[in-house]
Amino acid sequence: MAKNKGFFLFLFLFIFINVHAEIIPTHSYVLVFFKDKKEIPEAQLKLLFSSASLARRERQGISFDEVDYPVHQAYIQKISSKGFVVEDYSKWLNAVLLRKPFFKKRDIKELCSLDFVDNVEYLGGQSQLEGYRTSNHQVLSHYEEVSTLAHSYYRKMGLDTLHAMGYWGKNIHIGIIDGGFWGVNSLKDFQHLYQNGQIDEVQDFTHSNEYIYSVSSHGTKILSLFSTMNGNKLQGAAPLSTFSLLKSEWISHEIPLEEFFFVKAVEYCDSIGVDVINASIGYNYFEDIRDNYSRNSLYSHKSISSRVASLAASRGMIFVTSAGNEGNQPWKEVTFPADADSILAVGALDFKEQAVVYASYGRANSPLVRPNVAAFGDKVYTINEEGNYVLSYGSSYAAPWVTAAVACLWEMYPNLKAIELIKLLECTSKDADKPQLQSGFGIPDLKKAINLLEGKIQF
């Protein structure tokens, strides 16, 4: 893939000249949002994107706008001159991340007094978490049972139809944003991805010492739903797609700063030409209860993760996320960024196509149906860091089925725009006429979607 390496190096030097990449979890962080950006010529702007990213935009008729411009370097230099440590930046948010042991009111006041600053938002990050929470999974050894259940899921969605027609997600780039991919680089189940050049990028956005391949098997399990090799048999819902493995989560901490890492990962997906983002991630509660979100913030663009997720479709990408597992918890509702618009938020169903008890709820009075689709997230067979098949539970494992559906359908109809494909899946899902609070429009019906696109049925 051509990546315009010369200008990427220029951009790195240009934007990071005053940026320190030392994240300290026990410090405090704020985002400083700027009022405007400096416009740059389109010819120069194009050099910031890979050829695949430019092709995706051209295919969908998407022009560059202010969101795509870099953060104005003069603003960064001005803030640095005031003695603030600039850790990082976000071009989509038009903001910089600042770090300090503790931000006082006078610091915030000083930042807000700058004529180019729009507002300042606190990101938290004072406390630490002891240990690492893991889920217990039942280890399985019967591959036939694993394969049989997976194919029954394919049939219920119509993925088997796309597979039978020869559409396996080829030429579709999936970006998986997660907490880690323990063992993926060494397990035999995934070696075909490296041998065939299907792993495009591997990046860690957390500035941590947590090695992406030796911490958290959550991303490993997610990847195993897309593409694995059992003996000489290729398995998975989108086994021929290209994948980028992107770490945005700390395992040893649960702080709002992780949302900023997520933002950086999404922006990176845009620049390298990702088509579909799978983010089985959700935010609501943090280590320090003072950092916790309120449900009143849902559907309000309060969360930076939701703001950025909402922009993905306008850049030509489809953003798929898990709706959350809060249905039987006090929070009850979907987590951030599942409340964003122009995305696919996926609720969890059991094998009988019923919402599981822990599936997060949408809101009856919301203009957005969230979750807007659903898939199987209960008793899903995945591969863990030891190469064992395990039973996994949660909306995290429902999202990949929908991501795979998008990949295979987009391979078949590459000229569809991102927002068109989102709307297509919504209107052809099985509960399109009677959306439910925990499963939205229901399971995507890919056969119906194909028939609609082929003109065999009308709505």
Mean pLDDT of 87-102: 95
pLDDT, tens digit (0-9, with 9 covering 90-100), for 201-212: 999 999 887 899
Half-sphere exposure of 117 (CA within 13 A, CB side): 18
Residue 230: the pLDDT is 84
Mean pLDDT of 248-272: 94
Mean pLDDT of 239-256: 93
In the chain, pLDDT over 70 holds for what percent of residues? Answer: 88
pLDDT, tens digit (0-9, with 9 covering 90-100), for 10-67: 444 444 444 555 667 678 899 999 999 999 999 999 999 999 999 999 999 999 999 9
Residue 21: the pLDDT is 54
CA-CA distances (angstroms) from residue 457 to 9, 406, 448, 451, 453? 51, 20, 8, 6, 8
Residue 458: the pLDDT is 66
Mean pLDDT of 237-247: 98
Query: Which residues are bridge partners to 243 per DSSP?
Result: 174, 199
| CA distance linking residue 100 with residue 329, whole number of Å | 34
In the chain, pLDDT over 90 holds for what percent of residues? Answer: 79
Of 68, 66, 47, 63, the C-alpha closest to 3 is 47
Compute the mean pLDDT over every residue in the chain, rounded to the nearest whole number. Answer: 90
* pLDDT band at residue 371 using 50, 70 and 90 as cut-offs: very high
Residue 147: the pLDDT is 67
Report, at the CATH architecture level, how domain 139-453 is classified. Answer: 3-Layer(aba) Sandwich (3.40)
Residue 1: the pLDDT is 46
Pairwise pLDDT comparison (133 vs 103), residue with the higher score: 103
Residue 208: the pLDDT is 80
Q: Where in the chain is the domain with CATH 3.40.50.200?
A: 139-453
- Nearest 5°: CA angle at 309, between 381 and 3? 90
Residue 145: the pLDDT is 57
CB 435, CB 427: distance < 8 Å: no
Count Cβ atoms within 10 A of the Cβ of residue 106 and give its class: 0-12 exposed, 13-18 middle, 19 or more buried. Answer: exposed
Mean pLDDT of 379-387: 94
Mean pLDDT of 115-144: 54
pLDDT, tens digit (0-9, with 9 covering 90-100), for 138-190: 544 445 556 667 878 899 999 999 999 999 999 999 999 999 999 999 999 99
Residue 441: the pLDDT is 98
- Is cis: bond before 371, omega within 30 of 0? yes
Question: Does the structure show a pLDDT above 90 at 124?
Answer: no
Residue 27: the pLDDT is 81
Q: How many residues does the chain have?
A: 459
Of 224, 319, 218, 211, the C-alpha closest to 269 is 319
| CA distance linking residue 243 with residue 268, whole number of Å | 13
For the beta sheet containing 199-204, the strands, ordered from the edge strand earlier in sequence to the opposite edge, are 199-204, 242-247, 173-178, 276-279, 318-322, 344-349, 373-376
Mean pLDDT of 98-114: 93
Residue 12: the pLDDT is 44
Mean pLDDT of 90-117: 94
Pairwise pLDDT comparison (455 vs 10), residue with the higher score: 455
Mean pLDDT of 76-97: 96
pLDDT, tens digit (0-9, with 9 covering 90-100), for 213-222: 999 999 999 9
